[in-house]
Amino acid sequence: MRLILGCLLGIIMLFCLVMDLPAEEINLSIDMTSLFINKNVILHEFDFFANNARSYTEDFSIGRRIGAGLLNIFFGLGSYTMGDWLGGTIILLCDIAGIGLLLYGFDVAGTYDTMGAALGSIILGGGIYLYSLSYGFSRPFHYRSR
C-alpha cells in the first residue's frame, strides 16, 4: 500500500515539475471580498503584521475577525495581524504558561511522590490553555482599530 501511494505521489510531483504553464493561462482576478480589501479600499501594504500607523480608519470585516480568531490558536498570531499587540501578548503568555504547566505535569506524573503536584499542574495548565483558546477567539471581536 505504501508503495502504491508513494508511486502516486511521485507521479503527481513529476507532473507538477514538468508541466509548463505560461502566464497567459493563469486567470487572476481581484476578489472584492478578500481580507485585504475593506469597503473598496485596498490596503497599501500586503503585510500580515499590521502596524499602528494606518492610513484608514475603517473597522475590520467579520471575515477578518473570524480569521484572526482562528489564527490566534497559534500563539496569538491573529491579534498581531490586526495590530492588537496587547491581545497577542496576553494570548502568547497564556499559551506558554498553559503548555509549560501541561508538559511539566505530564513529565512528573510518572513518580508516585509528586502525583498531587502533577495532577494540579495538569489541571491548571489545561485551564489556562483553554482560557487562552477561548480568549484568543473572542479577542478580535472586541478589538477596534483606532
DSSP string, 117-132: HHHHHHHHHHHHHHHH
Instruction: Decide if pLDDT at 54 tops 70.
Output: no
Q: What is the pLDDT of residue 84?
A: 86
Which letter does DSSP use for residue 85 in this model?
A: H
Average pLDDT over every residue of 101-108:
88
Q: What is the pLDDT of residue 98?
A: 94
Contact 63, 55 (CB under 8 A): no
- The pTM assigned to this predicted structure is 0.58
Phi, psi angles (nearest 5°) of residue 145? -75, 150
Which letter does DSSP use for residue 76 in this model?
A: T
Instruction: Decide if pLDDT at 103 tops 60.
Output: yes
Question: How far apart, in whole angstroms, are the C-alpha atoms of residue 145 and residue 119?
Answer: 41
Q: What is the pLDDT of residue 146?
A: 57
Average pLDDT over every residue of 9-27:
64
Average pLDDT over every residue of 12-39:
57
Instruction: Decide if pLDDT at 65 tops 60.
Output: yes
Average pLDDT over every residue of 40-66:
58
DSSP string, 3-39: HHHHHHHHHHHHHHHH----GGG------TTSTTEET
5 or 129: which leads in pLDDT: 129
Write the single-letter amino acid at 29. Answer: S
